[in-house]
A and B are shown apart, each in its own frame.
Chain A
Amino acid sequence: MLARAKRSIDYRDLLYNLVVRDLKVRYKHSVLGFFWSLLNPVLLMLVFTFVFQQLLGSENNPTHPMYHVFFLVALLPWNWCASAVTGTLGSIVNSGYLIKKVYFPREMLPVSVVLANMINFLLALPALLLFMVILRPEGSGNPFGSDCQFACFNFHLLWVPLLILTETIFLMGLGFFISALNVFFRDTSVLVEVGLSAWFFLTPIIYDAKDVAHDLANVMYYLNPMAGLVANFREVFYYNDAASPDPFFMLRNLIVCTALLVGGYFFFMRLSRNFGEEI
């Protein structure tokens, strides 16, 4: 275990290069380059805001104020999750040409995908912060002031690094499982792709976690760490009033995700012995 960790340190430059490769290749041929990672969620945000505020929203059925921020703050971590899951899924299988020819720590492949998507997520965050400032309706207060009711810049934002860490750990753990499974059962990828769209709706992204019936919400949080994460992101960025995020809840989520990572790592290491002949 320690030797492995040391070896991983020897290969840290590989991780760096793989992440850079991922990002470079992604934006190589598009005119807008990395702005797509901003534009994509913004366009989605516009669509959903239109649907919920204009089509569905009415006097009797008020939507959340500043729905675009409400939505975007959940969409960004979700997008990170969805693209990392899709990316890690094929990370081993698509690198068969490397795995059969060169030895290197195979775990670098899914890890690099998660990190590249994390960087994408971080690059999209400024857009969210910008919208929090400029797209405020009349009377919602100064985002930096004490009269601010939601989507405020205050000390709650200090929780953000912890949430990012938790999501990174979660996605790596999941990535270890699915990337290794996909080597042996290629229909893992089909299942995961179908699962992703179900997962989107089972995670409080277009709706509020607070609207979920209390007993069901608990089940949701237990089975779906993304639900807890998305709810926390929303609390930190959107509902950031004094009552918001529960540190114990965040800690619990972190522990669950860490357990998943440890399990995924051992699962992956066990299966990776046979990658060379199974791909």
Chain B
Amino acid sequence: MARTSKESVRAASSPTLPNGTEKEVATVAGPPNSGRPGQLVQQATARSPQAKAKVVKFSNVSKKFTLHHERPNSFQDMVVSLFGLRSPSRLGKAMPRPANEQFWALKDVNFGIYQGEAVGIIGENGSGKSTTLKLISRILDPTSGSVSVRGKVSALLELGTGFHPELTGRENIFLNGSLLGIPRKEMAQRYEDIVDFAELQEFIDTPIKHYSSGMVMRLGFAVAINVDPDILLTDEVLAVGDEAFQRKCLDYIAALRKRGVTIIFVSHALDAVRGLCQRAIWLDHGKVVADGPAGDVIDQYLVFENEKHADRIRDEYEARKNGIAVPGDIRSSVTIQKPTQEDLEDQGHTVDETSEEAQREELSPEFRFAYDAPGTHWTSGQARITDVKFMNADGVDTKTFLTGEPFTIRIFYSTGERIENPVFGIALYSSQNGVHLNGPNTRFAGLDIPFIEGTGHVDYHIDELPLLAGMYDVTVAMTGADIAETLDHQHRAYNFYVQPTPGMAERWGLINIPAEWSFHPDAAK
């Protein structure tokens, strides 16, 4: 393509751009506020094909947004603010005019993307991912630094945005193509491919407004990838259409990759990033935290996220234990719709929640239990599980484990009366998708507990934890001799994390099953 040589460099007018100061290895130690030093230092360029040209280059790029709390966007407001007049609050008192807040969406970001690379950009909401995409696609200009992009960029951001509802599919294809800077003649050559890909032959002369949203998206996708881009930007839009179409899109993207198209993919779907990209850039608060092989960066990101999440859960748990209602915590204010037979039959059971007094106030006549609401807790009052601890090889109480480590769940009980032949059980769930992993109990395992009285604990021990990285919920339960007689049942009330484990070859799914591969070619003719 003759167009590939076209390069655009946009530099902000700021003078801070001495050539050669840009860092190739954009790895900063540790995300801000994490308190963890960056453990994994990645070499961004180590894997990059040096022979190939850089198609995207961010040199000390910063982007500042001004958050206008009360923006003078009409002349009236401007006049009002000119005279320092304040808008009165509801109480009738003058409120101080909030200053415009400045927000750095990106701060001194450096990276280069080489031709033919597939790069995932990951990070939490507000980390600067979308701003990065918009800078690459030239929708935004940097506040300082320079962004250079070489080649034709096609963005799959919100498909079908360029379409006009009154125009037909055919007219919109040409309009959309020209929005991307494709000459009409070239567009005419691609027209058939686009229509075929979108599977819209019969509707192509119908105005877009009569299309279903799926058809619009299909057409949008078909245009975006058939304009022969040098760089394809996409965000979560790959979730378009039915499964078959999605697969077609992913296949097509893979084909584009093979052809040397650079792909920049922004997503929260880490598995998709892992599958599609060989390299990932992790942004946090507008800075590059890590940049390197996708698998490693994602693992590092997951560790960080789990850690952060663990802190929050731990705080909530502590608060609950101390009887403090955590605002916004669903577990302390269960409103449940699904009544279960067992519960309705069991009139003798009382409800136990964080604080019984608080509970009594919240209880309404409609209050019912659902077995599948995480955090649901019911007890007969005769005996209860007072605490659950997760312990590692050294017997240390922790929340984070590695795959393959020894792992123990310790269940503490307390009972005021003597209970004969009780049964303790647990169940493991994946927190992400709720998959029920197992549900062992002491009776199935053949452990005979003659009776319990007072306090004590029961251990469930795994020699080598088979779970892969992720967050897991644990249900603990205690029943009488008859398993149907629930003494205490805390549904998915506890959780722990498995961190990505160095050296662990498996990374997809939930469990690591020790197994062997072998290779047996048939003898050559």
User: How many angstroms from the CA of A21 to the CA of B164 in the assembled complex?
Assistant: 8
Is A186 on the interface with B (CB-CB < 8 A)?
yes
Known: A14-B179, A187-B74. A101 touches B167 (CB 8 A): no
Complex contacts, B240 vs chain A, CB 8 Å: none
Known: A98-B161, A103-B153, A186-B73. A13 touches B167 (CB 8 A): no
Name the CB-closest residue of B to A10: B181
Question: How many residue pairs bridge A and B at CB < 8 Å?
Answer: 79
User: How many angstroms from the CA of A10 to the CA of B155 in the assembled complex?
Assistant: 18
Contact of B182 with A13 in the complex, beta carbons under 8 Å: yes
Contact of A102 with B162 in the complex, beta carbons under 8 Å: yes
Complex contacts, B162 vs chain A, CB 8 Å: 98, 101-102
Is B180 on the interface with A (CB-CB < 8 A)?
yes
Contact of B139 with A13 in the complex, beta carbons under 8 Å: no
Contact of B65 with A277 in the complex, beta carbons under 8 Å: yes
Is B501 on the interface with A (CB-CB < 8 A)?
no
Known: A101-B157, A276-B134. A24 touches B171 (CB 8 A): yes
Contact of B181 with A21 in the complex, beta carbons under 8 Å: no
The range of chain B's interface size is 20 to 34
Residues 154-200 of A at the B interface (beta carbon under 8 Å)? 184-187
Is B174 on the interface with A (CB-CB < 8 A)?
yes
Complex contacts, A25 vs chain B, CB 8 Å: 164, 166-167
CB proximity of A25 to chain B, nearest CB, Å: 5
Contact of A13 with B73 in the complex, beta carbons under 8 Å: no
Is A40 on the interface with B (CB-CB < 8 A)?
no
User: How many angstroms from the CA of A184 to the CA of B72 in the assembled complex?
Assistant: 9
Residues 1-47 of A at the B interface (beta carbon under 8 Å)? 10-11, 13-14, 16-18, 20-21, 24-25, 28
Residues 150-170 of B at the A interface (beta carbon under 8 Å)? 153, 155, 157-158, 161-162, 164, 166-167
Is B140 on the interface with A (CB-CB < 8 A)?
yes
Known: A102-B139, A185-B74, A276-B140. A13 touches B184 (CB 8 A): yes
Contact of A103 with B76 in the complex, beta carbons under 8 Å: no
Overall SS of chain B's interface: loop
Choice from B157, B158, B180 contacting A104 with Cβ under 8 Å:
B180
Name the CB-closest residue of A to B138: A103
Tally chain A residues at the interface, Cβ within 8 Å: 28
Is A100 on the interface with B (CB-CB < 8 A)?
yes
User: How many angstroms from the CA of A277 to the CA of B137 in the assembled complex?
Assistant: 14
User: How many angstroms from the CA of A267 to the CA of B157 in the assembled complex?
Assistant: 29
User: How many angstroms from the CA of A102 to the CA of B184 in the assembled complex?
Assistant: 18
Name the CB-closest residue of A to B154: A102
- Which of A10, A28, A101, A276: most chain B CB closer than 10 A? A101
Contact of A273 with B171 in the complex, beta carbons under 8 Å: no
Contact of A21 with B74 in the complex, beta carbons under 8 Å: no
Complex contacts, B161 vs chain A, CB 8 Å: 97-98, 101-102
Complex contacts, A24 vs chain B, CB 8 Å: 166-167, 171
Complex contacts, A98 vs chain B, CB 8 Å: 161-162, 179
Complex contacts, A186 vs chain B, CB 8 Å: 73-74
User: How many angstroms from the CA of A274 to the CA of B73 in the assembled complex?
Assistant: 14
Complex contacts, A20 vs chain B, CB 8 Å: 171
User: How many angstroms from the CA of A16 to the CA of B75 in the assembled complex?
Assistant: 36
Q: Return the 4 tightest CB-CB contacts between A and B, nearest first.
A: A14-B178, A103-B138, A13-B178, A101-B161
With A187-B75, A276-B141 given, can you name 16 additional A-B contacts, CB distance below 8 Å?
Answer: A10-B183, A14-B178, A14-B179, A17-B178, A24-B167, A25-B166, A98-B161, A101-B162, A102-B161, A103-B138, A104-B179, A104-B180, A185-B73, A185-B75, A186-B73, A186-B74
| B binding-site residues for A, Cβ under 8 Å | 65, 73-76, 78, 134, 137-141, 153, 155, 157-158, 161-162, 164, 166-167, 171, 174-175, 177-184, 187
Q: List 21 A-B contacts (CB under 8 A).
A: A11-B181, A13-B177, A13-B184, A13-B187, A14-B178, A17-B175, A17-B178, A21-B175, A24-B167, A24-B171, A25-B166, A101-B139, A101-B155, A101-B161, A102-B137, A102-B161, A102-B180, A104-B181, A185-B78, A187-B74, A187-B76
